[in-house]
Structure 1
Amino acid sequence: MTTHDPIPSATEATVMIHRTAALLLAIVAFALPGSVEAVSCSSNVTPSTPDEDFQIDADGTAQHLPTGLMWMRCDLGQTWTGTTCAGSSATFTSWGAGMRAVRDINAGVSDLDGDGAAGFAGHVDWRVPNIKEWLSIRENCRHTPALNNIVFPNAPLAASHYSSTTDDKSPMMVWRFDTQFGSAGLILKDDNIPRFMRLVRGGNGSSSYVATGRIFAHGFE
Structure 2
Amino acid sequence: MKELMLKRWFLVGAWAVLAFMSYEADAEALCVGGIPETTTSDVYEERSNGEIKHIPSDLIFMRCAIGQSFENDQCIGIASLFTWQQALQLSVGYQFNDSQNWRLPNVKELGVIVERSCVRPSINEDAFPATPPDDFWTSTPSLQDPERAWSVAFFNGTSSLKAKDRSVNVRLVRTALPAE
Q: Give your verdict on TM over 0.5.
A: yes
The reply to whether residue 102 of structure 1 matches residue 78 of structure 2 is: no
Structure 2 residue corresponding to 1:147, chosen from 123, 132, 149: 123
- State the partner residue of 2:49: 59
Q: What runs of 5+ residues in structure 2 fail to find an aligned partner?
A: 1-28
1:15-54 correspondence runs (5 A): 41-54=31-44
Tell me how far 1:45 sits from its aligned partner.
3.2
Equivalent-residue separation in structure 1 for 2:137 and 2:125 (angstroms): 20
Tell me how far 1:171 sits from its aligned partner.
2.1
Equivalent-residue separation in structure 1 for 2:49 and 2:31 (angstroms): 26
CA RMSD of aligned residues (A): 1.8
Tell me how far 1:40 sits from its aligned partner.
7.8
Larger Rg: 1
Equivalent-residue separation in structure 2 for 1:188 and 1:139 (angstroms): 25
User: In structure 2, the residue corresponding to 1:195 is in which secondary structure?
Assistant: coil
- State the partner residue of 2:67: 77
- State the partner residue of 2:140: 165
1:83-122 correspondence runs (5 A): 83-92=73-82, 94-103=83-92, 106=94, 119-122=95-98
User: In structure 2, the residue corresponding to 1:132 is in which secondary structure?
Assistant: helix
Structure 1 residue corresponding to 2:111, chosen from 121, 131, 135: 135
The reply to whether residue 178 of structure 1 matches residue 153 of structure 2 is: yes
Equivalent-residue separation in structure 2 for 1:66 and 1:41 (angstroms): 23
User: In structure 1, the residue corresponding to 2:118 is in which secondary structure?
Assistant: coil
Conservation of the 8 A alpha-carbon contact between 2:80 and 2:169: yes
Equivalent-residue separation in structure 1 for 2:30 and 2:61 (angstroms): 20
- Structure scoring higher RCO (CA < 8 A, sep ≥ 6) equals 2
Cα distance change of structure 1 residues 59 and 203 upon mapping to structure 2, 3 Å threshold: closer
Instruction: Read off the aligned partner of 1:84 and give its amino acid letter.
Output: Q
The reply to whether residue 197 of structure 1 matches residue 167 of structure 2 is: no
Structure 2 length-normalised TM: 0.77
Conservation of the 8 A alpha-carbon contact between 1:40 and 1:149: no
Equivalent-residue separation in structure 1 for 2:118 and 2:47 (angstroms): 23
Number of residue pairs the alignment of both structures matches? 149
Conservation of the 8 A alpha-carbon contact between 2:41 and 2:127: yes
Q: What runs of 5+ residues in structure 1 fail to find an aligned partner?
A: 1-38, 107-118, 205-221
Of all paired residues, the percent bearing the same amino acid is 28
The reply to whether residue 124 of structure 1 matches residue 100 of structure 2 is: yes
Cα distance change of structure 1 residues 44 and 134 upon mapping to structure 2, 3 Å threshold: same
Conservation of the 8 A alpha-carbon contact between 2:30 and 2:120: no
Tell me how far 1:180 sits from its aligned partner.
0.4
